A and B are shown apart, each in its own frame.
Chain A
Amino acid sequence: MIHFRAIWNAHAVTDGHFREFADEEPGDAEWANTWANLRQFNANAYFVLLWSQAEVEINQLCDELIQRKRNDSDWDSQRAWDLIGEHGPTGRKLRGPRDLMDRIALLCKKGGRVYNRLSELYRLRSRIAHGEILQSGLDTAEIAAELEALIKELKATP
Chain B
Amino acid sequence: MTIANIDDGEPERIPSADEVRAETEDWTRRINDLFETIRSWLPADEGYEVDLSRTVLMDERMTWSHGLPAYRLPSLGIRRAGVGLLRFVPDARWVYFTRGRIMIQGMKWPARLLDKGAAPGDVHWRLYTMWGPIGGIPFDAAALQSLLGEPR
Contact = CB atoms under 8 A, between A and B. Distances in A.
Interface string A113-151: 001100110111011001010111111011111101100
Contact of B2 (A8, A32, A116): A116
Interface in B1-42: 1-4, 6-8, 10, 12, 14
A156 interface: no
A48 interface: no
Contacts of A127: 8, 10, 12
B114 A141 contact: yes
B94 to A, nearest CB: 4
Chain B's interface: helix, strand, loop or mixed, by majority? loop
A135 to B, nearest CB: 5
Contact of B94 (A4, A135, A141): A135
B57 A139 contact: no
B118 interface: no
Chain A, interface size: which category? 35 or more
A112 B1 contact: yes
Nearest to B62: A135
Nearest to B6: A101
Interface in B45-84: 57, 59-62, 65, 70
B96 A139 contact: yes
A33 B1 contact: no
Interface in B73-118: 91-92, 94-98, 101, 103, 109-110, 112, 114, 116
B110 A15 contact: yes
Nearest to A119: B4
Give the size range of B's interface with the partner: 35 or more
Interface string A76-110: 00000000000000000000000101000000001
B102 to A, nearest CB: 11
A1 interface: no
A68 interface: no
Contacts of A40: 61
A136 B94 contact: yes
A146 B136 CA distance: 11
B44 interface: no
B134 A4 contact: yes
A15 B135 CA distance: 19
Given A101-B6, A119-B6, A136 B134 contact: no
Given A134-B96, A144-B134, 7 more contacts: A16-B110, A19-B103, A36-B61, A111-B2, A115-B3, A116-B3, A135-B62
> Which 7 A/B pairs are nearest by Cβ-Cβ distance?
A145-B135, A119-B4, A141-B128, A111-B3, A136-B94, A126-B8, A12-B110
